[in-house]
Amino acid sequence: MRREKIISAVLATVAMSGIAGLSLITAYIFKEGLPIILRVGAGKFLLSSTWAPSEGKFGIFSMIVGSLAVTAGAMVIGVVFGLGVAIVLTQFCPRRLAAALKPAIELLAGIPSVVYGFMGVVILVPLIRDHLGGPGLSVLAASIVLGIMVLPTVTSISVDALRAVPRSYSEGSIALGATGWQTTHMVILRAARSGILAAFILGMGRAVGETMAVIMVAGNTAQVPRSILDPVRTLTSNIALEMGYAAGDHRSALFATGVTLFVIIMILNTIAMTVSRRRGQKAGRK
Amino acid sequence: MRIPPLVAQRLIASVLWILTAATIGVLLFIIAYVLIHGLPYVTWEFLSRAPERMGREGGIFPIIVGTAAVTCLAVLIAGPIGVVTAIYLTEYTREGRLTAIIRFGADCLAGIPSIIFGLFGFAFFVISLGMGLSVIAGALTLALMVLPTIIRTSEEAIRAVPYSYREVSYGLGSTRWEMVTRVVLRSALPGISTGIVLSLGRSVSETAAVMLTAGSALRMPQSLLDSSRTLALHFYILAREGISMNKAYATASVLIVAILVINLVAYWIMRRFIAKTG
Amino acid sequence: MNEAASRSELAPQGTAVDSRGTPVPKEAKIVLEDFGAFFDGEPALRNVNLLIHPRQRLAVIGPARSGKTTLLRSLNRLNDLNGGFHHTGRILLDGRDVYEPQTDVSELRRRVGMVYATPIPLPWSVYENIAYGPRLAGVRKRSRLDEAVEEGLRNAFLWDEVKDRLHEPASNLSGGQQQRLCLARVLALEPEVLVLDEPCSGLDPVSTGKIEDALAELKSRYCVVLVTNNTKQAARASDRTAFFLMGELVEVGDTPWVFTNPADRRTADYVTGRFG
């Protein structure tokens, strides 16, 4: 009995230190970043598009727009291809082939972001520059690269959501004379709706968080882009590019950028969680 | 104009298959491109010698060592802590407000961009604790980065073990710890291992966070406090600064092969798991 | 509750005395004394006074939610696992309250072995399933484990069927065999009391017969408590029968009498199938 108590205490200590370490990060980021947001004024910080650290001007609006633009573009590609592949894997694919293809898609997630970025620079950017205009380093380039990177996440979570739809739904639909595709889009996709939404949101979270690949293909000018062919800087790139040499207020501002990212991710995660929970309740599953 | 359902079906199916083929195509293209340009330069010399002239010549041996040091150390730190935390949360505490909050926190942190971990690592480990750009700072930062994922995947693997097994174990006279180690962990081990192996893969790919914490020194790290460069970072620097395209591709090839191996190991573990319980 | 029937159960018959100094009938292995069980305040059992004798099979019958399973799980303190459980009264095993703070619960569960309604083989081989209990009890030597495994399987009448398949996954066995495996698992620990919760539900008649035969054999060595929803099974496979209704012990007595000439009206209604 005593031995059990000791074991319990040891486990608790280790667990608490792990959790404490993680809480420390959250607290630290907020501690370093929040003061300057309050000092500059949240409105000014978030909505001014002038980012000039040497002059003490810290407006991250251009980068918020940058992140949003790039993420939106990425999600278009991510959803179209990601969901498409998920549908193929679950509805139109023989079991064996699906089992072989799924790990292949997951492999896409394993390729380092710097390799993606590099391929973007070497192949995609010149392509855009030569055929569509602009410097090539652009929102479009970043969107495409990010879209490919986000695809595996969307696919894998969508596949789970699609597979969770009870067989009886599709069997019932086919019994009524519907074709495969009709069943898919009218019945199955409907039923898996919240799971797919969760996949979308989590994919978005990953797109927002990507750094290296974006730095390599997006151009990194701190200005609000006016077309998808314009260069852009995202919130993450901002931190990575300037952290090495930033000091004082400048560094605090970068932490503040981190705080913004943190909040965005937390919001996305909360939405994903509520969406998943609603799915659980609707299906009446435990 | 109404398209007859069967025609629509065939149309959509074709479109979807094209999308899938394109996706697989991109994957194969990227891997092939890198390997074709890089494998010819991956010689034994390349793998065993130190870089010279900023990487323009020579090899990547110290970088391989640096990568192994930082990533393995990170997983060695985060692995046990993550698994223990998962065990504690599932088996030793009651479900409630607190565990729900911890779980939400872990989920959020699993989604936080790696650059933020780099930010923290730089400000805290490198500067505040005075470790400087070092292997240990990099390892600790990466450990924090993969810890939430390890906690979540371990927790899911543990929860997948049916409750009835636990009752049976108690019924035969086990203590809680005996039940956890002999029954639960034994069944959850494949899932937990997969999570850890995949975290290793993620650490190996990581660039932004190590750049800010482990630095980019080219020399062989002699101690945990020495700065070091990882494969992904080396590739980035070689490519960005245009130092040597051949060496860049070669480095990327080594990196991709390493990740492929890691993914295969994780996949193999999962297959064995399904075979055993199937 | 039939006061007369249960009171006579508690009349002192021998000179044995429990830890509180109250006389305990020498014959009883387990004595429930004013035992009540509550989950989050809701009573599942109330004022149960019951003697369970060694070398006998006691059938516990009653409709759903009458507290039968709660009774079993209180005997080996498995109810402790449910948060919100608390009890009143005492359960004496060989004169000592199993709910005393100093009780070694692991030891208790080895002495009071339980078989559940659905067979739950652990995802290991047959051998490892049976050897698990003895291993937990500290047996390390391979030869002793082999002995315990064989003993357990023989006593569960399963040895001949699996002796060549000891190292195959236990999940390969049929339903009836798996349930006997679960019985063997418990028997390998050489318990003193065998507690079975509807062990034959979901089994085919042949497997059911095998288990009932095993229980008939085993009663000569153990004290057997069998919960069953099947009154016919209770009638043929037990020596004494206790009838529970909504958490209360209505009547207990020798099986033939309970089924042919029960003292309580409600017992009569239940065994003739008028409800439940």
CATH number of the domain enclosing A117: 1.10.3720.10
Domain for residue A52, yes or no? yes
The segments of chain C whose pLDDT lies below 70 read: 1-26, 276
Q: Which residues contact A51 (CB under 8 A, 6 or more apart)?
A: A57, A58, A59, A60, A62, A63, A222, A238
Same domain? B31 vs B154 = no
Burial of C3 (0-12, 13-18, 19+ CB in 10 A): exposed
Same domain? B49 vs B37 = no
**Is A216 touching B (CB cutoff 8 A)?**
yes
What are the tens digits of pLDDT across the range C14-42?
Answer: 444 544 455 545 578 899 999 999 999 89
pLDDT of residue C108: 94
Q: How far is CA C259 from the centre of its chain?
A: 21
Same domain? B198 vs B217 = yes
Average pLDDT taken over every residue of chain A: 85
Range of lowest pLDDT (A12-26, A28-42, A60-74, B260-274): B260-274
CATH of residue B74: 1.10.3720.10
What are the tens digits of pLDDT across the range A216-244?
Answer: 998 888 888 888 888 999 999 988 888 87
* pLDDT over 80 at A55, yes or no: no
Quote the domain boundaries for residue A211: 47-283
**Is A98 touching B (CB cutoff 8 A)?**
no
> Which segments of chain C does DSSP mark as H helices, in order?
3-10, 68-75, 105-111, 126-136, 142-155, 159-162, 175-187, 205-218, 231-237, 255-260, 265-271
Same domain? B9 vs B58 = no
Inter-chain touch C133–B182, beta carbons under 8 Å: no
Inter-chain touch C122–B175, beta carbons under 8 Å: no
Domain for residue A253, yes or no? yes
Which domains are seen in chain C, by residue range?
3-271 (3.40.50.300)
Confidence band for B1, pLDDT divided at 50, 70 and 90: low
Segment A143-147 mean pLDDT? 93
Domain for residue A226, yes or no? yes
What are the tens digits of pLDDT across the range A94-138?
Answer: 888 887 887 788 778 888 999 999 999 989 989 888 888 888 888
pLDDT of residue A282: 53
pLDDT of residue A87: 86
Domain for residue A173, yes or no? yes
Domain for residue A14, yes or no? no
The C-alpha angle A88, A175, A156, rounded to 5 degrees, equals 20
CB B66 within 8 A of CB B221: yes
Portion of chain B with pLDDT greater than 90, in percent: 34
In whole angstroms, give the CA distance from residue A19 to residue A13: 10
Strands C57-61 and C240-245: parallel
Same domain? B237 vs B124 = yes
Same domain? B156 vs B18 = no
Domain for residue A13, yes or no? no
Nearest Cα residue in chain B from A214: B208
Question: Which of C83, C120, C137 is nearest residue B164 as measured by Cβ atoms?
Answer: C120
Portion of chain A with pLDDT greater than 70, in percent: 96
pLDDT of residue A199: 85
pLDDT of residue B168: 95
What are the tens digits of pLDDT across the range B143-195?
Answer: 999 999 999 899 989 998 999 999 999 999 999 999 999 999 999 988 898 88
Same domain? B149 vs B23 = no
* pLDDT over 60 at B277, yes or no: no
Domain for residue A22, yes or no? no
Average pLDDT taken over every residue of chain B: 87
Same domain? B29 vs B95 = no
Same domain? B217 vs B164 = yes
Amino acid at B191: G
Measured in angstroms, the CA of B244 and the nearest CA of chain C are apart by: 55
What are the tens digits of pLDDT across the range B237-267?
Answer: 888 888 888 888 999 999 999 988 888 888 8
Same domain? B121 vs B153 = yes
The whole-model pTM stands at 0.85
pLDDT of residue B85: 92
Inter-chain touch B174–C106, beta carbons under 8 Å: yes
Same domain? B214 vs B254 = yes
In whole angstroms, give the CA distance from residue C53 to residue C181: 26
Number of domains comprising chain B = 2
pLDDT of residue A205: 87
Number of domains comprising chain A = 1
Quote the domain boundaries for residue B182: 44-277
Same domain? B77 vs B144 = yes
